[in-house]
Chains A and B, each alone.
Chain A
Amino acid sequence: MSHPKRAEIFTRDAERTTWHDETLWFVRQKRDKAVYAVPEFQELRELASQIKTHTLSRLADYLEQFEAQAKANGVHVHWASNAEEHNAIVLDIIRQQNATSIVKSKSMLTEECHLNPYLLRHGVEIVDTDLGERIVQLRQESPSHLVLPAIHLKKEDVGATFFKHLGTAEGEVDPQVLTEAARQHLRARFLAAEVAISGVNFAIAETGSVVVCTNEGNADLAVNLARVHIASMGIEKLIPRLSDLSVFTRLLARSATGQPATTYTSHFSRPAAGKELHVILVDNGRTQQLGRPDFRASLKCIRCGACMNTCPVYRRSGGHSYDFTVPGPIGAILSPNIDMRQHASLPFASTLCGSCTDVCPVKIDIHTQLYKWRQVIAAADEIPASKKWSMRLLSRVLARPAMYELGGKFARTSLRFVPHALTHAPGYNPWAIARELPEPPPQSFREWFKQTNPKP
C-alpha cells in the first residue's frame, strides 16, 4: 500500500486527525519557544552541520579511533554490516550469559533491525522500558515517531491496552494512574534484568565512550542494574571529540521537545567492576547512503524528530502511513536507500514546503533531497505509468506554444460546457473531492493582451 492510500485512511477519522495535528504542532511550538530564546541557535546549527559533515568525510578513521579507544577502556566492540549480523551478535551475547531477563531502552536502530521479533523467534523475550515503546510493544505495533513512539495513541487507547495487559481498571484513563501502573510493571523487569540493551545518541571517537540521552531515566536504571550492557549504534552516530558534544546536546532536546537538555545525558566509557559493556557498530545501508553524494547528508541526522513535528503532511497522516522505521520527511529520504521500490511513494509525500529543512538542527537539506529522490525514482521507472505518460505529454505541449494555446483553449472551453457533475466526478477527478475547479474565463491572459496591444 502506498503512502497516499494509508494517509487517506488516516484522515477518514477527521477528529483524530485534528487531534494528531494539534498535538504535534504543540510540540513544534515548544521547540520554537526554546529556539527563539537562544540567540546563537542558527550558528549552533551551522556548527553542528559542519562537525557532522567533517566526521562523515573521514568516518572510517574516526570509527577505528573509536574502536581502539573503547577497547582500551575494556569495552567489547562488535561490527555488524547488516541487521541480521547485529541481531545474531545480540543473541550470542545473551546466550553466553544464559540470560532470560532482557530489558531494552529506546533504540530506533533495534527497531530498524527488527531485533524484538528476531529474539522472540529464538525463544528470548525482551521488554521495552521506555513508556511509549512499551505501550506500542504491548499493542504489537511499531513506533509512529522517533521521539514520541506512541504519539498516535490517546489516553483512552493506552487505558484499554493497560486494562488488557497490566490489569488496570476497565475504562481507566487518568494519565497519573496509568503511568503508575506502567512504573510498577516495569520496576519488576528492571530489578530482574540480566542484560540491558540501549541505543546510542552520540559516540565520541576521542574517548571511546557512548552517550545516551533519555527523559525517563529508564536507560540508566536498566544498564546500571544489569550485569551486561549492550549499546547498539548506527555508525553515523560518531562525533570526533568530547568538546563537540555540547553543540549537539544543546540542539537535540530543544529541537525535539523544546527542553534545554534531556533529563538524563549519560556517558558510558567503561564497564563497572565485574560487568560487561558491549558496543555494536552497525552499517545496515549507511555506507551505501554515504556513497550517494546527493543523499549523503541524510546521515547527519541526530533523530530529534523536529522534521516530523513541523511536517504538515506527517501531522495529518500519522507515522504509520510511512510504513518505515523512521517516518516523516527524514524517513522519506532514508527509506529509498534501503528499498526504493517499496518506499517509492514516500519522497512524493511532501509539498516540498521546506519547513523540515528549516527546523533541522544539523541543516540537512531534506526537501531538496526529496526532490532529488523523485528524479531517481522516476528514472528507475518506479512512478505510476499514468503520471509518467501525462508528464511526457505535458512536456510536449509546453515546449510548443501553438499546441499549448490550443490545449488551453480546449480545456477552458470544455470546462465551460461540460456539466459540473461530470467535471467534478469524484471517481475521476481527485481535485474535486474537496475543491471546486477554477471558473474558466472566456479569455486567457494572452488573448486579452493581443486584443489590447495589437501589433503595429
Chain B
Amino acid sequence: MKVALFIPCYVDQFYPQVGIATYQLLEKLGIQAEFPQKQTCCGQPMANSGCEQDAIPVYHHFVDTFQGYDYVVAPAGSCVYHVRKHFNIIEQTPAVQHVRETTYDLIDFITTILGVTKIPGEFRHKVGLHLSCHGQRGLHQANESEMTPVRDGHLRRLLKSLEGIELTELDRNDECCGFGGTFCVSEAAISARMGQDRVQDHLRNGTRVLTGGDMSCLMHLEGIVRRQKLPMRVMHAAEILNGTIL
C-alpha cells in the first residue's frame, strides 16, 4: 500500500508535532508513509472566500502531487472534505477522481481502511473531544445531534479504547467552534464568541485535555485557551494516540 501524507499548510508551518505524530502513528500501525515535498495546500482558504477560480491552480497542483499513491492521508478532516466535495469544478480526469476518492482523514483511514478499532496504551486524563463539523457532518465520522441523541463516532471509539481515559460529556456535543477559515477574521467577533463558548463548555464539564481530529478547529480553540490562560492542554488526536503506543 503506497500512502502519501498530506500535511496541510498551517499544520506544516505551525504544528509540525502533529505531522510528526501522524507519521509515527501510521508507522506504528505498519504504514510507511511518504511525504511528497512539493505539496502545499488543498485550496480551501480561497474557495471558501468565494475565490474558487483562484483555487483551481492549487487543485491541479494537489492532484499532480498525489495522483501516484493508493491513499492520501491528512490529520485534518476539513481539508479532506474540501478535496472530496469541492474538487468537482475541475475536469474529472481519472487522476482527479482517484485523488478525490482516496484522500482520507487520518482517523477514518485508521479505522475504515486499516480496520483498527483499539489502540493499546493508556491515557489517564479527562479528555474533551471536539468534533470538526466538516469531519462530522461532511465526512460522517460521527453521529450528528440533528439526527440522533446517540453520541458515537470513529474517533470517540478509538479514544475510548485507551486505558484510563475519561471522556467529557459536553452540554453541546457537536456545536461548531467558530473557526470557519477566513470567517475567523472576517467575522472576528462571532468567531471569537463561538470559540469562547465552546471552550467554556469543556471547562465547565472538566476537560483537561482538549482534542480532536482537525487541527484548524484546535488552532482556534488553542488561541482562546492560551489567551484566557486556562488550565487545559490542546492536542491533536494523533498526538494522543501516537504517544500511547510504545
Contact = CB atoms under 8 A, between A and B. Distances in A.
A388 to B, nearest CB: 7
Given A11-B193, A401-B37, A404-B40, A313 B187 contact: yes
B165 interface: no
B169 interface: no
A408 B49 contact: no
A354 interface: yes
B224 interface: yes
A392 B56 CA distance: 11
B192 A351 contact: no
Contacts, number: 221
Interface stretch (B14-22, B121-129, B203-211): B14-22
A438 B14 contact: yes
Nearest to B187: A4
Contacts of B50: 348, 374-379, 383, 387
Contacts of A114: none
A342 B119 CA distance: 53
Interface string A366-406: 00000100111111000100011001101101111100100
B57 A399 contact: yes
B158 interface: no
B188 to A, nearest CB: 4
Interface in B27-56: 35, 37-41, 43, 45-55
A423 B153 CA distance: 38
B89 to A, nearest CB: 9
A21 B13 contact: no
Size bracket, chain A contacts: 35 or more
Contacts of B195: 434-435
A401 B48 contact: no
A317 interface: yes
Contacts of A348: 49-50, 183, 186-187
Contact of B149 (A3, A36, A444): A36
A188 interface: no
Interface residues of B, number: 76
A453 B134 CA distance: 32
B199 to A, nearest CB: 11
Nearest to A402: B38
Contact of A412 (B13, B23, B219): B13
A283 interface: no
Nearest to A415: B14
A398 B43 contact: yes
A449 B176 contact: no
B7 A446 contact: yes
A446 B12 contact: yes
Given A32-B149, A445-B7, A11 B190 contact: yes
Interface string A324-368: 000000000000000000000000111111110111000000000
B84 interface: no
Nearest to A424: B227
A161 interface: no
Interface stretch (B108-116, B138-146, B235-243): B138-146
20 contacts: A11-B193, A42-B147, A351-B183, A352-B181, A353-B133, A357-B137, A378-B49, A387-B49, A394-B45, A395-B55, A398-B9, A404-B41, A430-B185, A430-B186, A434-B192, A440-B13, A441-B16, A446-B12, A449-B19, A449-B23
B183 A350 contact: yes
Contact of A316 (B11, B61, B181, B190): B190
Contacts of B224: 434-435
A448 B46 CA distance: 27
A21 B20 contact: no
B245 interface: no
Contact of B188 (A433, A446, A453): A433
Contact of B41 (A313, A350, A398, A439): A398
Contacts of A312: 175-176, 178, 194
A7 interface: yes
Interface in A13-32: 17, 21, 25, 32
Contact of A395 (B11, B13, B58, B179): B58
Contacts of A439: 14
Interface string A422-440: 0000000011011111111
Interface of B: 7, 9, 11-20, 23, 35, 37-41, 43, 45-55, 57-58, 60-61, 86, 133-134, 137-138, 144-149, 172, 175-176, 178-197, 219-220, 222-224, 226-227
The 7 closest A-B pairs by CB, nearest first: A435-B223, A351-B180, A378-B50, A445-B19, A434-B192, A374-B50, A358-B146
B16 A444 contact: yes
A298 B133 CA distance: 22
Contact of B19 (A32, A394, A399, A448): A448
A310 interface: yes
Contacts of B178: 312, 351
Contact of B51 (A7, A388, A408, A438): A388
Given A355-B137, A383-B50, A445 B16 contact: yes
Contacts of B193: 11, 17, 316
Contacts of A353: 133, 137, 176, 180
A387 B190 contact: no
A358 B147 contact: yes
B9 A404 contact: yes
A340 to B, nearest CB: 12
Given A434-B195, A445-B16, A11 B189 contact: yes
A445 B11 contact: yes
Nearest to B54: A395
A341 to B, nearest CB: 14
A218 B210 CA distance: 50
B130 to A, nearest CB: 12
Nearest to B43: A398
A374 B49 contact: yes
Given A404-B40, A445-B12, A391 B187 contact: no
A434 B187 contact: no
A399 B55 CA distance: 9
B84 to A, nearest CB: 13
B146 A359 contact: yes
A125 interface: no
A443 interface: yes
Nearest to B59: A399
B28 to A, nearest CB: 15
B83 to A, nearest CB: 14
